[in-house]
Amino acid sequence: MSRLPEYLRALHALADAGHETVSSEGLASAVGVNSAKLRKDLSHLGSYGTRGVGYDVALLIDQIESVLGLTQCRAVALVGVGNLGHALAGYDGFASRGFQIAALLDADPSRVGEEIHGLVVRHVDELPRVVAEESISIGVIATPAPAAQAVADQLVAVGVTSILNFAPCVLSVPDGVDVRKVDLAIELQILSFHEHRKASLIALPATGGSALTALPGGLATPDTQEAIGT
Q: Does 25 bind DNA (CB under 7 A)?
A: yes
> In a 10 Å sphere around its CB, with 0-12 CB exposed, 13-18 middle and 19+ buried, how is residue 173 labelled?
middle
Rounded Cα gap, residues 81 and 179, in angstroms:
20
Sign of CA dihedral 102, 85, 67, 64: positive
Check: CB of residue 139 under 8 Å from CB of residue 75.
no
> Of 5-13, 17-25, 86-94, 175-183, which segment contacts DNA by CB under 7 A?
17-25
Whose Cβ is closer to a copy of itself: residue 115's or residue 223's? 223
Q: Which is closer to DNA, CB of 54 or CB of 85?
A: 54
CA 206 → CA 67, 202, 203, 209, distances in Å? 51, 9, 9, 8
Contact 73, 98 (CB under 8 A): yes
Quick check: 60 binds DNA (CB under 7 A)?
A: no
Label residue 92 exposed, middle or buried (CB < 10 Å: 0-12, 13-18, 19+).
exposed
Q: Which of 15, 70, 116, 119 binds a copy of itself (CB under 8 A)?
A: 70
Q: What is the phi/psi pair of residue 33, to 5°?
A: -130, 170
Interface positions, 75-94, toward a copy of itself (CB under 8 A): 76, 83-84, 86-88, 90-94
Q: How far is the CB of 206 from a copy of itself (least distance, A)?
A: 19
Smallest distance, a copy of itself to C-beta of residue 178, A: 5
Residue 7 makes contact with DNA by CB under 7 A: no
Identify which of residues 205 and 216 has a Cβ nearer to a copy of itself in the complex. 216
Question: By CB under 7 A, is residue 210 in contact with DNA?
Answer: no
Q: According to the binding rule CB under 7 A, does residue 118 interact with DNA?
A: no
The one-letter amino acid at 27: L
Residue in 53, 132, 186, 203 binding a copy of itself, rule: CB under 8 A:
186
88/105 with CB nearer a copy of itself: 88
Q: Which of 172, 203, 205, 207 binds a copy of itself (CB under 8 A)?
A: 172
Is-contact 120 113, C-beta < 8 A? Answer: yes
Residues in contact with DNA by the rule CB under 7 A: 22-25, 33-37, 39-40, 42-43, 47-55, 217-218, 220
